[in-house]
Amino acid sequence: MAQLLANTLALASTYILLAIGYVVVYRSSRVLNLAHGELMMLAGYAFFGLVSATPGHPLWAVPAALVVAFLAGVAVYATLVRPMAGHPLFSAVLVTVSLGILLRGLVLLGWTADILYPLAVTGYKNAPWLLPGGAVLTTIDLLSILMAGTMLVALWGFFARSRLGIQMRAAAENPLLAAQRGVNIHLVFSLSWGISTFVAGVAAVLYASKVRLDPEIGVIGLRAFPVALVGGLDSLAGVLPAGLAIALLENLAIRYVSPLLSDVVPFLALLVMLFVRPWGLFGTKEEIERV
């Protein structure tokens, strides 16, 4: 039982880190970023490239990879999403789909389809830790849980307290009015894309260090998508319970029902939520009309 809970926390932390990205972008620009998983993958490859380029200094590679991830998000907004302003939101979503396919192709060209292990390059080990109750979690699991919590709290503080955060909320609420009040909405939007890919970068560094890095890890982004929807696409607070609930359901299915169900559990949870409460646990009711 203790191990089941530990596994749930570890899986939920990955889902939460990824779902944060969906929510931050949606909150500000109303775009569903369907290339989020691939942007996460790109950050993973940036991390691997930096780790390989600076052997012996792995701790530099982590912040550097996160900066690359942030800049990638800003660049995606500036080059692909901003030109779509004035067009239906659906067009911007399609642009992100194309971006995802393009990124996968580019990664394949640059690094081939080989499985890579960034942690092995750093020389660090992912040591297991025995927890009360006999459960085991590794260093990276613990870091992942810590980072998911930190990101949630930090972003909550940023949106609630900081001037820029409040401007971002205002721009999300009514971009025209915000612009008339002097808010630089393009700066605000690009920043939100940067934050989204930054957090995805954190997920990428941790996941690639724990499991592996290959062009297919972007699929995990798709699995985290139901977490964002179940929590409420415009609600950061909803990500936490949704991530925990879906990870718990997945672990319960693996242990007590059928391991094969683990693939569909997030989407079953999403379907149930869409029937019962289409705007998600903590989402805004009117938001669903926009989706």
Partner 1 sequence: MAGASRVLAWLAGAVVLAAPWTPALAQEPYKVGMTAAVTGPAAIEYAARVETFRAYMSKVNAEGGINGHPIQVIYEDDRGEPARAATNAKKVVEQERVVLLVNTSLSATYKPVMATVTETKTPLLFGGGVCPQEVFPPANPLMFCTTSFAAQIDSDFAVRFMKEASKGKVRLGTALMDIPVARIGIDTAEAVGRKIGLEVVGRITMPPGTADFTPFSSKLKDAGANWVFAWSPWSFQVGPYEALLNLGWQGNYLLYGHQQPIDAAYPRLNRENLYALVGASILAEGLPELKAMQETAAKHGASRLDVEGWVAAVAVHEALKACGWPCSREKLQGAMSGLSITVKGVKGGPIQWSRDNHFRTEQWYKVYRWDSARQRAVTAKGWTKVDVGQKLKELRETAK
Q: Which residues bind partner 1 (CB under 8 A)?
A: 3-4, 7, 10-11, 14, 105, 108, 112-115, 117, 120, 126, 128, 130, 136, 138, 141, 211-212, 214-216, 219-220, 223, 250-251, 254-255, 258-260, 262-263
**Residue 200 beta carbon to partner 1: minimum distance, rounded to whole angstroms:** 14
Instruction: Give, in order, the Cα–Cα distances in Å from 244 to each of 11, 70, 256.
Output: 8, 26, 18
* Residue among 112 and 174 whose Cβ is closer to partner 1: 112
Distance between CA atoms of residues 50 and 57, nearest Å: 9
**Residue 264 beta carbon to partner 1: minimum distance, rounded to whole angstroms:** 8
* Interior angle at CA 52, CA 49 and CA 55, nearest 5: 145
* Residue among 3 and 184 whose Cβ is closer to partner 1: 3
Helix-strand-coil split of the chain, %, nearest 5 = 80, 5, 20
- Both structure tokens of 129: 């830790």
* Residue among 127 and 276 whose Cβ is closer to partner 1: 127
**Residue 127 beta carbon to partner 1: minimum distance, rounded to whole angstroms:** 9
Q: Output phi, psi for 213, to 5 deg.
A: -130, 120
* Residue among 108 and 160 whose Cβ is closer to partner 1: 108
* Residue among 11 and 68 whose Cβ is closer to partner 1: 11
**Residue 186 beta carbon to partner 1: minimum distance, rounded to whole angstroms:** 34
DSSP state of 33: -
**Residue 15 beta carbon to partner 1: minimum distance, rounded to whole angstroms:** 9
**Residue 282 beta carbon to partner 1: minimum distance, rounded to whole angstroms:** 24
Instruction: Give, in order, the Cα–Cα distances in Å from 164 to each of 27, 157, 283.
Output: 14, 11, 22
- Both structure tokens of 98: 């194309």
Instruction: Give all strands (DSSP E) within the chain, no chain letters.
Output: 128-130, 136-138
* Residue among 27 and 36 whose Cβ is closer to partner 1: 36
